[in-house]
Amino acid sequence: MFDAEYPYFSDRGDRTYSNPVLFADYSDPDVIRVGAEYFMVASTFNFVPGLPVLRSTDLVNWTIIATPSRESPATGTMRSTRGAPFGLPRSAVGTACS
């Protein structure tokens, strides 16, 4: 079991860091570099606000800079879609974007 105090910082302040770098469950992360900055986006499935976009300059210290998906397509609200048709796991059905 990982025991951490909140807020958790992986940067030790002496040019070293401890794992986990991000004390959160960011599934399916994708990271790109643009100049001197790194940007990461992750899946949130049926949870809103969704699609967190994070920024870093050193791959250790990350800041959430945006959550472009502000409401659920199924409910039109900021609440989770658990129980709504969009919130149920489905395969081979696809996703409709409006």
Which residues constitute the domain of residue 57?
Answer: 27-77
Residue 91 lies in a domain: no
pLDDT of amino acid 51: 83
| Inside any domain, residue 88 | no
- Domain-embedded: residue 67: yes
| Rounded Cα gap, residues 31 and 27, in angstroms | 12
Give the model's pLDDT for residue 9.
82
Which residue, 12, 43, 45, is CA-closest to 28? 43
How many separate domains does the chain show?
1
Residue 60 covered by a domain:
yes
Q: Is residue 84 included in any domain, yes or no?
A: no
Distance in angstroms (rounded) separating the CA atoms of residues 25 and 31: 15
Could you list the mean pLDDT of each consecutive 10-residue stretch along the chain, which spans 98 residues? 64 89 85 96 76 92 84 56 50 52
Q: Is residue 70 part of a domain?
A: yes
- 92 lies in some domain: no
- Separation of alpha carbons 27 and 9, rounded Å: 20
